[in-house]
Amino acid sequence: MKENTEVLKTLGDSILEYIKRKPAVPGAIAVTVVIAIIIGIAGGPAQVVNAIVAGGMWALLATGLTMILGVMNVPNFFHGESFMVGAYTAYFIFTPIHLYLMDNPNKFLSTIAPFAGFFAAAVIGFILGSILEKLVFYPLRSKTKERWVMNSFLLTVGVSYILSNGVNLVLGPNFRGIPRYWDVPPIKFFTIRLTVDRLFAFFLAMVVLLLLWYFMGKTRTGRAIRAVSQDEAGAAMVGININNIHTLTFSLGTSMAAIAGAALLFMFQAYPTVGLRPLYYAWYVVMLVGLGNVSAAVVGGFIVAFLQTATQQFFGIEWGEVVPTVVMMIVLIVAPSGIFGSEVKGIQEQ
């Protein structure tokens, strides 16, 4: 009994300590909760659930982005194109299976068919990430480290252009979409209706994030990634092959964006410029919570989702980009390194 109170007390102390160190954090969370309540009153609980489901996806996207940023100091502009590649991959894997199933119904196969798409997207995203890292960022890194952040940023801009226009060239500008992954009636819950697709997209995001958390915290390689992000020279000194870790990180980040693209295919569809909005969202999150702060990106995903839902509820859908951007600008002015604090070294360079 006594032990319990003591544990509680230390917990309380550490929370207080944290709040003292970063007063913006509880403020941001409090504001989000207030927004959530207002949305709930004005738009009903379904609107809140919407925001939560969307938040899961932005969290997944932003985590990939912030990981690449934290470990490699590469501010990735083609994260949206990774999303696009994932969407296309899922489409091309899922559609033939789907067509086959239309003629030969098979309950088991139709339950697992979407997974083939997700898995393929993850793998293709991973491969794409490693190829690009070796082809573009490795040469730059071995050339010069001067102005690294800015130069690598511009490289990702170039890659983004090549990818989206390359896909346009090869596959054409056509939209490729699916009606839905699982053709079952939506789940009803009070006034809330959620399709299995959306629910699963959220679920998938959470599982991937959980796996990532485990991987980063508990495995040797995951620890090596964190070590590289904290001190590159130190990591080299303990015998970590930094180049491999960079490639791995990049591939993981890209793969996560691709998974998001695959999971949201039913909503976004696949076309060459589909990645633009996801890219905006991911950057909103990352700038909001602080560059390279992986765990905070998850929280940030939900904050941004609530902000967007509130914008659409109260301002109208055409203000969807303006209001969140202005909020981000204010955040940047007030807290340049994000509300949770940046964890990136070297980003302060000129």
Partner 1 sequence: MIKSTGKASTIARTLMSRTGFSSSGIILIAILAVLPFIPPFNSEYILRWLVVGAFMAAQAVAFDLTAGFINVVNFGFAAILGVGAYTSAILANTGPHIIVQPGISPWIGIFIGAFASAFLGFILGFLTLRLRGLYAAIMAWFVGIALLGLARTLTPLTRGSLGMSPPSFFDTPSNMPYYYLALGMMITIYIVTKLVTTSHIGLAFKALGQNFDAARASGINPTFYRVFNFTLSCFFAGLLGGFYAHYFVSMTPKAIMHTSKSVETLAIAFIGGRGFLWGGIVVAFPFVFLLEYLRSALPQLPGIHIIIYGVLMILVMIYYPNGVAGFITELKKKLWRLRKPEKT
Partner 2 sequence: MRKSKLVTFALVLSLLLPFSVMAGGKQEKEGAGAAETAEKVFTLGILGPFSGPSARTGKEFRSSATMAFEAIDWKIGEYTIKPVWIDSQSDPAKATQAYEQAVVQDGIQAGILNWHSSVAVACMEITAKYKVPHFFGFGATEVVNEKFHSNPDKYGYWMYKGWPTPKKLSVNYVQALEDAIEEGLWNPGEKTFAIYGEDTDWGRSFGKGIKEQLEKAGWRMVAEDYFPIEQTEFYPLLNKLKGINPALIAGTSTAPPSFSSFIKQADEVGLESLIVADGLGWVGEWYKLTGTSSNYVIDQIPGWATEAGKEFAQKFKDQFGIDPSPSSGGLSYDGTRFFIAVARKAIEEYGELSSESIYNFVKNFVWEGKWSFKDGIVMSEYAATPETVPDPVVGKGYYIFPVLQYFDGEGKIIYPPEWAVQKLQVPSK
Partner 3 sequence: MLKVENVDSGYDFLQVLWGINIEINRGEFVALIGPNGAGKTTTLRTISGLLKPKGGRIFFKDELISNLPPYEITHSGLSYVSEDLNLFVNMPVYENLLMGAYIIKDEKKIKQTMEYIYELFPRLAERKKQLAGTLSGGERKMLAIARGMMSNPEMLLVDEPSLGLAPYLVRNVFDALKTLHGEGLTILLVEQNVNATLDITDRAYIIEQGKIVLSGKSKDLARNEHVQNVYLGI
Chain residues that interact with partner 1, rule: CB under 8 A? 75, 136, 139-140, 143-144, 147, 149-151, 153-155, 157-162, 165-166, 168-169, 173, 280, 283, 287, 291, 318-322, 325-326, 328-329, 332-333, 336, 347-350
Could you tell me the two tokens for 254? 């890209």
Q: How far is the CB of 122 from partner 3 (least distance, A)?
A: 27
Q: Interaction with partner 3 in 234-273: which residues (CB under 8 A)?
A: 234-243
- The span from the CA of 73 to the CA of 8, in Å, is 38
Closer CB to partner 2, 43 or 222, in the complex: 43
Q: Which is nearer to partner 3, 72 or 279 (CB)?
A: 72
Q: How far apart are CA 126 and CA 255, in angstroms?
A: 5
Q: Give the one residue of 167, 227, 252, 296 binding partner 3; rule: CB under 8 A.
A: 227
Is 15 or 187 the residue whose CB approaches partner 2 more closely? 187
Residue 219 binds partner 3 (CB under 8 A): no
Residue 270: both structure tokens together: 């696949």
Shortest Cβ 314–partner 1 spacing (Å): 14
Residue 119's identity, in one-letter code, is F
Q: How far apart are the first and last CA of the chain?
A: 55
Among 10, 14, 106, 230, binds partner 3 (CB under 8 A): 230
- Nearest-CA neighbor of 225 among 74, 60, 71? 71
Q: Say which entry of partner 1, partner 2, partner 3, none residue 193 contacts (CB below 5 to 8 A, set by partner kind).
A: partner 2
- What are phi and psi for residue 342, nearest 5 degrees? -80, 150
Residue 18 vs 175, nearer CB to partner 2: 175
Compute how many other C-beta atoms are within 10 angstroms of the C-beta atom of residue 234.
11
Nearer residue to partner 1 within complex by CB, 128 or 240? 128
Rg from Cα positions in the chain: 21
Q: Which lies closer to partner 1 via its Cβ, residue 32 or residue 156?
A: 156
Pairing status of strand 187-189 against strand 192-194: antiparallel
Q: Select from 13, 17, 231, 321 the one that contacts partner 3 (CB under 8 A).
A: 231
**Nearer to partner 3 among residue 63 and residue 308 (C-beta):** 63
Residue of 334, 208, 338 whose CA lies nearest to 284: 338
Q: What is the distance between the alpha carbons of residues 318 and 257, in angstroms, rounded to a whole number?
A: 26
User: Does position 194 bind partner 2 by CB under 8 A?
Assistant: yes
Would you say 172 or 346 has its CB closer to partner 2? 172
Query: Pick from 215, 251, 246: which is nearest to 229 by CA?
Result: 246
Q: Which stretch binds partner 3 (CB under 8 A): 172-180, 222-230, 255-263, 270-278?
A: 222-230
Site string for partner 2, 277-316 (x = CB under 8 A): -------------------------------xx--xx--x
Binders in 57-116 for partner 2, by CB under 8 A = none
Residues 288, 331 contacting (CB under 8 angstroms):
yes
* Reduced 3-state DSSP string for 243-280: HHHHHHHHHHHHHHHHHHHHHCHHHHCECCCCCHHHHH
Contact 171, 85 (CB under 8 A): no
161 alpha-carbon distance from chain centroid: 20
Q: 336: which DSSP letter?
A: T
Please identify, using beta-carbon distances, which residue of 1 and 237 lies nearer to partner 3: 237
**Among partner 1, partner 3, partner 2, none, what does residue 75 contact (CB within 5–8 Å per kind)?**
partner 1
Q: For residues 226 and 146, what is the distance between their CA atoms, to the nearest angstrom?
A: 23
Using the structure block, give the residue that is written with the tokens 């904050």: 303
Closest CA to 344 of 153, 71, 140, 152: 71
What are the residues binding partner 2 (CB under 8 A)?
A: 42-44, 46-47, 50-51, 54, 168, 172-175, 177-180, 183, 186, 188, 193-195, 198, 266-269, 271, 273, 308-309, 312-313, 316-318, 320
